[in-house]
């Protein structure tokens, strides 16, 4: 076996089992969420199907999160980190302490609908899927506006979900996706602190290894801000390209074919470069060009000229005000 190959075994699909054998560990990382965490924990404790355990990870909060957790009914495992290390590492830490056979990664301001775990457990008990994805209702707390963000087409045998999530995430939040514990461990959990694209990285890798099943029931109320949801996110463009490129490396090291993606490193760079140019973001353009050099990807001459023209344009015209950068 080549030295650059990693011994990797895709875990078998979970077998059918009695629903009472489904043990769901709810893992909640939190950072500076304060009192918002209270309602999140209450929504888990109020489930019609009993949660196996709740694991809270305080990821170095500098507000009153620690004091609030101390005043909650102690029906959970509490891990307090002195230094913030990011949501990916916090989720992994929670999973390391979890004893359930299924994991649900909630954000610290998420709310589960009362029957969420009941729907999840019923679907998981059927066997044959490593990830169960439910419906999501998004709430803008400032306006009270609600809207659904659900993509039933996410369901399918591997590598269906990997392909579906490759160019954009079709899962609104990890809190809407129940993950088999063996699958989580097999793919190495959340491998990189690539916020805001660590979730897509997780779905691409897990989707290459297991069947995703769509659960036709609302499971999660997700807090969002209507205004911020429409802002161009410069981090998502650059880190999205890194997620995509490094997945190709990750899969190759494990002998997982990626021809189903029907793409190349050059296309990945160019598609993300096009997004950065459209938003006149020269910083991300420069980062993508540098990353292309690092990965041995040569830009075609027309694209080099286009980047040069954009730089020249920026010296003459200001960035259009409608294009906001995060």
Question: CA 160, CA 208: separation in Å to the nearest integer?
Answer: 7
Q: pLDDT tens digits, residue range 176-194?
A: 999 999 999 999 999 877 7
Mean pLDDT of 134-162: 94
pLDDT classification of 231: cutoffs 50, 70, 90: very low
Cis peptide before 71 (omega within 30 of 0): no
Give residues with Cβ within 8 angstroms of 59, minimum separation 6. 29, 30, 31, 81, 84, 85, 86, 87, 89, 90
Q: Does domain 19-229 have CATH number 3.90.550.10?
A: yes
Q: Is the model's pLDDT at 230 over the cut of 60?
A: no
Calculate mean pLDDT across residues 116-131: 98
Cα separation, 272 vs 281, whole angstroms = 11
Coil, strand or helix: which one is 59? Answer: strand
**Structure-token pair, residue 213:** 């099943």
pTM for the full model? Answer: 0.92
Q: Which residues pair with 291 in a beta bridge?
A: none
The mean pLDDT value for 220-240 works out to 73
Q: What is the dihedral of CA 288, 201, 245, 253, to 10 degrees?
A: 150
Please name the residue that has the structure tokens 């997700």.
Answer: 222
Give me the pLDDT at residue 177, please: 98
Domains of the chain by residue range: 19-229, 232-316
Q: Are 272 and 238 in contact (CB under 8 A)?
A: yes
What are 119's two structure tokens?
Answer: 């729907």
Please provide the distance, in angstroms rounded to a whole number, between the alpha carbons at the two ends of the chain.
44
Per-residue pLDDT for 325 more than 70? no
Identify which of 62, 231, 203 has the alpha carbon closest to the alpha carbon of residue 133.
203
- Mean pLDDT in the chain? 91
pLDDT digits (tens, 9 = 90+) for 233-261: 777 899 999 999 999 999 999 999 999 99
Establish how many alpha carbons lie within 13 A of residue 289's alpha carbon, considering only the half-sphere containing its beta carbon.
17
Examine residue 159 and say whether the peptide bond preceding it is cis (omega within 30 degrees of 0): yes
Per-residue pLDDT at 326 exceeds 50: no
Picking from 169, 208, 171, the residue whose alpha carbon sits closest to that of residue 186 is 208
More confident residue, 185 or 232: 185
Tell me, what's the pLDDT at 70? 87
Q: Is the pLDDT of residue 77 over 50?
A: yes
Angle, vertex CA 299, rays to CA 297 and CA 305, nearest 5? 160
**Among 4-18, 107-121, 224-238, which is the least confidently predicted range?**
224-238
The residue-averaged pLDDT of 309-324 equals 72
Nearest Cα neighbor of 255 from 61, 12, 18, 1 is: 1
- Predicted confidence band of residue 286 (pLDDT cuts 50, 70, 90): very high
**DSSP category for residue 167:** S
The Cα–Cα gap between 167 and 244 comes to 8
Q: What CA–CA distance (Å, rounded) separates 210 from 12?
A: 8
User: 28-32, 173-177, 322-326 — which is least confidently predicted?
Assistant: 322-326
């Amino acid at each position: 076996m080549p030295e650059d190959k990693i011994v990797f075994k895709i875990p078998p699909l979970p077998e059918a089992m009695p629903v009472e054998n489904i043990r769901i560990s709810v893992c909640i990382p939190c950072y500076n969420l304060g009192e918002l965490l209270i309602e999140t924990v209450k929504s888990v404790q109020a489930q019609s199907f009993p949660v196996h355990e709740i694991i809270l990870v305080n990821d170095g909060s500098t507000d009153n999160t620690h004091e609030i957790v101390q005043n909650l009914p102690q029906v959970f495992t509490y891990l307090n980190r002195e230094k913030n290390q990011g949501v990916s590492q916090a989720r992994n830490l929670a999973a390391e302490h979890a004893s359930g056979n299924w994991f649900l990664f909630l954000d610290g301001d998420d709310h589960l609908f009362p029957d969420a775990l009941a729907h999840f457990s019923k679907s998981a008990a059927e066997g044959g899927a490593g990830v169960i994805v439910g419906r999501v209702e998004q709430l803008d707390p400032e306006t009270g506006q609600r809207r659904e963000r659900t993509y039933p087409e996410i369901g399918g045998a591997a590598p269906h979900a990997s392909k579906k999530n490759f160019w954009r995430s079709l899962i609104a939040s990890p809190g809407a996706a129940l993950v088999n514990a063996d699958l989580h461990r097999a793919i190495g959990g959340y491998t990189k602190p690539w916020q805001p694209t660590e979730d897509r990285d997780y779905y691409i890798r897990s989707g290459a290894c297991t069947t995703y099943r769509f659960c036709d029931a609302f499971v999660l109320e997700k807090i969002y801000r209507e205004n911020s949801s429409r802002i161009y996110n410069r981090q998502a463009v650059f880190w999205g390209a890194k997620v995509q490129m490094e997945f190709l490396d990750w899969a190759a090291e494990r002998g997982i074919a990626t021809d189903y993606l029907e793409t190349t490193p050059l296309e990945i760079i160019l598609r993300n470069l096009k997004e950065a140019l459209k938003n006149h973001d020269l910083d991300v353009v420069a980062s993508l060009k540098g990353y292309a050099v690092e990965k041995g990807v040569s830009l075609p001459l027309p694209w080099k000229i286009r980047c040069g023209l954009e730089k020249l344009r920026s010296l003459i015209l200001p960035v259009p005000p409608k294009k906001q950068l995060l």
